[in-house]
């Protein structure tokens, strides 16, 4: 039986997802998905199955050769760069923590941010400011805001949702970001009549999932309620002080440390990552396409090289700054290297599993199968196509765990469909990008979802299960907007309707399924026995 390029290509990630939701055990579920994928690639030959789990080369549906297995997932230069970035970011966080910067920031924030609403909005605001890259966003926002949200008894599940909601959705509407660069690169050589970055910018007002997620998070925080599994976690945190964290992120108090021992390293990290990505993109290279052009540099950059480069520079500067300030000893500073690496091990392990599963899924031809479905739906459905494209992108990103891979697959398919209609082309591209973000946002095997869990220091499956109802709510509204946009074709009309519908939905949810949490949060915060 031939499994490549058929529905069977979606079976491995679906198995992993279903098992994760049933068993609440991420590592085992991902590994089972990898085994299933390897077995399908090997035609259930036991020897080849074992080979493909570790390392092997297979023929894809397109007739090309592709590498699979753990060794190739780890050894891929792009993946290795991200691993390195995560390790150095973990070291940076540990260094700031060992110096007392996190504790100092937490103390400052506790004095100035008095409410649960304030802590959530502050977390959201920081997430918006760190728009350069989703990985950078997830881990930095988590590290900085954990002490603040802990003080307001915001559960780690809620923190991880806010982090995730301000990672990919924000990056997907920021013209200067690694995501804009990826989209631009995907559409660069395609016959669309405009540049890739122009296409990206034109698509922003129609990116309903990203834009409405922002509205949803702000509305949810200001209105002060939760629903679904998130309500259970939040009520438990509010009433008992049990935040649901992993319990290994205590901040170290230091009388010498100040607020600046957190602020300066974070600023240095942001500037370092921006400069690193611009440097790799050729901003200062006269021979490069991005020479002297910020957007051009970001369009031609490689995030897996630029981010580690910028983080390394930031790490060296932070190391020197904290030692010069005498808020940390050399011994404690060097101990942060091992502390940071150890803290990142769970995230690195899950990411390794997720990337290995992704290789198997891609090699089985999930893209070929989905592309065939798309082409089959194109005939006679022009006005409904944006909504259909959105659903297809959601499903593909959810099953494969990659938004970049999803729009990389779908953009070349979408462009020819709408070639004669520029407005509908923009809406179709937006639907593709929005669906990719939405599916990525929902998927347990998404690297961004993994990073959000790591940033909040929460059990991965807790993050996934609590976030899913919120993401699906916004997805449903976004789908309705793409149906409307297919006929109206004017974002000035459609976007306000989407915002109004999102706010209206929040009011309905608060009055129904969120009634208990809304009432509880209006009551004084219960005192703990230890207090």
Instruction: Give me the DSSP letters along 392-421.
Output: HHHHHHHHHS-HHHHHHHHHHHHHHHTTT-
Question: Is 36 contained in some domain?
Answer: no
> How many Cα atoms occupy the beta-carbon half-sphere of 367 within 13 Å?
21
Tell which residue, 30, 370, 102, 57, has the closest CA to residue 260. 102
What mean pLDDT is reported for the chain? 83
Question: Is 190 contained in some domain?
Answer: no
Q: How far apart are CA 204 and CA 104, in angstroms?
A: 38
Q: How far apart are CA 230 and CA 164, in angstroms?
A: 14
Which has the minimum average pLDDT: 401-410, 479-488, 495-504? 401-410
pLDDT one-digit tens code per residue, 235-264: 888 888 888 876 655 555 667 788 888 889
- Mark 191-209 as b/e (b = at least 16 C-beta within 10 Å): ebeeebbebbbbbbbbbbb
Q: How far apart are CA 473 and CA 382, in angstroms?
A: 25
Question: Is 192 contained in some domain?
Answer: no
- Mark 69-93 as b/e (b = at least 16 C-beta within 10 Å): bbebbbebeebebbbbbbbbbbbbb
Report the pLDDT value the prediction gives residue 530, as an integer from 0 to 100: 47
Question: Is 424 contained in some domain?
Answer: no
Q: Let me know: does 511 contact 505? Beta carbons within 8 Å.
A: no
pLDDT one-digit tens code per residue, 424-471: 888 988 999 999 999 988 888 788 888 889 888 888 889 999 999 999
Report the pLDDT value the prediction gives residue 447, as an integer from 0 to 100: 80
Domain of 159? 77-180+251-351
How many separate helices (H) and strands (E) can be counted in the chain? 26, 2
Q: Let me know: does 362 contact 405? Beta carbons within 8 Å.
A: yes
Report the pLDDT value the prediction gives residue 531, as an integer from 0 to 100: 44
Domain count within the chain: 1
Question: Is 467 contained in some domain?
Answer: no
Residue 263 burial (10 A CB sphere; 0-12, 13-18, 19+): middle
Question: Is 122 contained in some domain?
Answer: yes
pLDDT at 317 > cutoff 90: yes
Spatial CB neighbours of 113, under 8 Å, sequence gap ≥ 6: 119, 122, 148, 151, 152
Report the pLDDT value the prediction gives residue 77, as an integer from 0 to 100: 83
When pLDDT is averaged across residues 365-388 and rounded to a whole number, the result is 68
Which has the minimum average pLDDT: 29-33, 174-178, 221-225, 359-363? 174-178
The residue length of the chain stands at 531
HEC secondary structure over 455-487:
HHCECHHHHHHHHHHHHHHHHHHHHHHHHHHHH
Question: Is 262 contained in some domain?
Answer: yes
DSSP code string of 90-145: HHHHHHHHHTTHHHHHHHHHHHH--SHHHHHHHHHHHHHH--S-HHHHHHHHHHHH
- The most confident of 38-42, 96-100, 150-154, 189-193, by mean pLDDT: 38-42
pLDDT one-digit tens code per residue, 145-156: 888 888 788 899
List of long-range contacts for 475-478, beta carbons under 8 Å, 24+ apart: 475/209, 475/394, 475/438, 475/442, 477/208, 477/212, 477/501, 477/502, 477/505, 478/208, 478/209, 478/212, 478/390, 478/434, 478/438
């Amino acid at each position: 039986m031939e499994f490549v390029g058929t529905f069977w290509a979606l079976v491995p990630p679906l198995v992993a997802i279903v098992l994760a939701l049933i068993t609440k055990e991420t590592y085992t579920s991902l590994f089972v998905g990898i085994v299933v994928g390897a077995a399908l690639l090997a035609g259930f030959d036991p020897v080849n199955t074992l080979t493909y789990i570790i390392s092997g080369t297979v023929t894809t549906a397109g007739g090309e050769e592709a590498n699979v297995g753990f060794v190739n997932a780890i050894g891929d230069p792009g993946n290795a760069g991200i691993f390195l970035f995560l390790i150095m970011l973990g070291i940076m966080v540990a260094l700031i923590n060992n110096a007392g910067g996190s504790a100092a920031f937490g103390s400052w924030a506790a004095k100035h941010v008095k409410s649960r609403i304030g802590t959530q909005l502050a977390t959201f605001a920081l997430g918006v400011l760190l728009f350069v890259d989703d990985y950078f966003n997830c881990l930095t926002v988590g590290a900085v805001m954990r002490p603040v949200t802990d003080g307001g008894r915001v559960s780690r599940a809620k923190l991880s949702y806010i982090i995730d909601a301000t990672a990919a959705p924000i990056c997907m509407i920021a013209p200067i970001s690694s995501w804009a660069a990826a989209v631009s690169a995907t559409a660069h050589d395609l016959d669309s009549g405009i540049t890739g970055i122009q296409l990206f910018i034109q698509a922003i007002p129609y990116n309903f999932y990203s834009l409405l997620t922002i509205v949803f998070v702000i509305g949810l925080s200001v209105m002060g309620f939760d629903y679904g599994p998130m309500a259970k976690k939040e009520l438990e945190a509010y009433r008992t002080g049990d935040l649901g964290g992993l319990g290994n992120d205590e901040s170290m108090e230091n009388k010498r440390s100040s607020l600046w021992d957190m602020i300066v390293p974070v600023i240095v990290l942001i500037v370092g990552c921006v400069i690193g990505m611009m440097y790799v993109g050729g901003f200062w290279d006269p021979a490069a396409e991005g020479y002297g052009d910020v957007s051009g540099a970001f369009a031609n950059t490689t995030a897996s090289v630029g981010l580690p480069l910028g983080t390394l520079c930031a790490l060296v500067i932070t190391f020197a700054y904290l030692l010069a300030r005498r808020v940390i000893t050399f011994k404690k500073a060097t101990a942060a290297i091992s502390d940071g690496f150890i803290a990142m091990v769970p995230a690195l392990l899950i990411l390794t599993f997720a990337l290995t599963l992704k290789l198997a899924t891609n090699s089985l031809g999930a893209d070929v199968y989905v592309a065939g479905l798309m082409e089959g739906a194109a005939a006679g459905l022009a006005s409904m196509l944006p909504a259909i494209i959105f659903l297809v992108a959601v499903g593909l990103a959810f099953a494969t765990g990659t938004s970049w891979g999803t729009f990389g697959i779908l953009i070349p398919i979408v462009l020819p469909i709408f070639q004669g209609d520029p407005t509908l082309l923009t809406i179709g591209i937006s639907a593709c990008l929005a669906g990719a973000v939405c599916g990525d946002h929902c998927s347990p095997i998404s690297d961004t979802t993994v990073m959000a869990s790591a940033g909040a220091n929460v059990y991965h499956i807790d993050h996934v299960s609590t976030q899913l109802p919120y993401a699906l709510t916004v997805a449903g509204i976004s789908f309705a907007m793409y149906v409307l946009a297919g006929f109206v074709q004017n974002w000035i009309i459609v976007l306000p309707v989407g915002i109004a519908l999102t706010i209206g939905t929040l009011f309905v949810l608060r009055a129904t399924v969120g009634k208990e949490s809304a009432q509880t949060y209006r009551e004084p915060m219960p005192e703990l026995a230890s207090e």
